[in-house]
Amino acid sequence: MIIGAEAACNKITLGVDPGSHRCGWGIVQGSAGCYKALDYGCITPPEGCTPGERMAFIYDHLSTLAERYHPEELAIEKLFFNKNVTSCIVVAEARGVIMLAAQKAGLSIFEYTPADIKKALTGTGRANKNEVTMMVMSYLGLAKKPSPDDTADALAIAITHICSRALMPLL
């Protein structure tokens, strides 16, 4: 047995797929080869909220998750720039709020690109969403697909971090 392996398997990661209208999240406990979904879902601010109210809703929800599950780390998707600058700005705002909530809760923050996540779970950076979701279900032993897709993506981000943690040098 590797010293510290049991402690590493008990480490809790909060994975987040950032968004201002739908923000997927997943709480995963584990180490490489040992994964357990503790809880997961999607933060969906009420219709008609102002942008500031949406950000406060996301912040409050993530703060509550941090208090409830005591994760040590946040794994979040890096911003992927596409042609729609407006949507990128809104997602960047949500990422800022998410990272603030994590920082206030004392979590270490790690970022992964969509290609990193696909490669970690499927072996290729060009996997489609269904392939990633199927691997999430396999890693976590889930009988049905996490829904919506943002939730499955958040779980994939948490699993990616747990896999990557095994490759990080010991402190």
Peptide bond into 148 cis (omega under 30): yes
* pTM, 2 dp: 0.91
Residue 63 in tokens: 């703060």
Q: Is 77 labeled as catalytic in the residue annotation?
A: yes
Our answer to whether residue 17 is catalytic in this structure is yes
150 a catalytic residue: yes
Which of 17, 73, 116, 153 is labelled catalytic?
17
Question: Is residue 171 over pLDDT 60?
Answer: no
Residue ranges of domains in the chain: 5-166
Rounded CA gap, 106 and 138, in Å?
A: 30
Q: Provide the pLDDT confidence category of residue 165 given band limits of 50, 70 and 90.
A: confident
Nearest-angstrom CA–CA distance, 15 and 7: 19
Class of domain 5-166: alpha beta
Catalytic residue among 72, 93, 116, 150: 150
Q: What is the pLDDT of residue 86?
A: 73
Other beta carbons within 10 angstroms of residue 62's beta carbon come to 25
Comparing CA positions, the residue from 11, 15, 9, 46 lying closest to residue 161 is: 15
Residue from 6, 60, 67, 77 carrying the catalytic annotation? 77
Instruction: Please count the residues of the chain.
Output: 171
Class of residue 21 by CB neighbours under 10 A (exposed 0-12, middle 13-18, buried 19+): middle
The model's pLDDT over 53-95, given as tens digits with 9 standing for 90+, comes to 999 999 999 999 999 999 999 999 998 766 677 778 889 999 9
Q: What's the token pair of residue 78? A: 């890096």
CA distance 8 to 129: 29
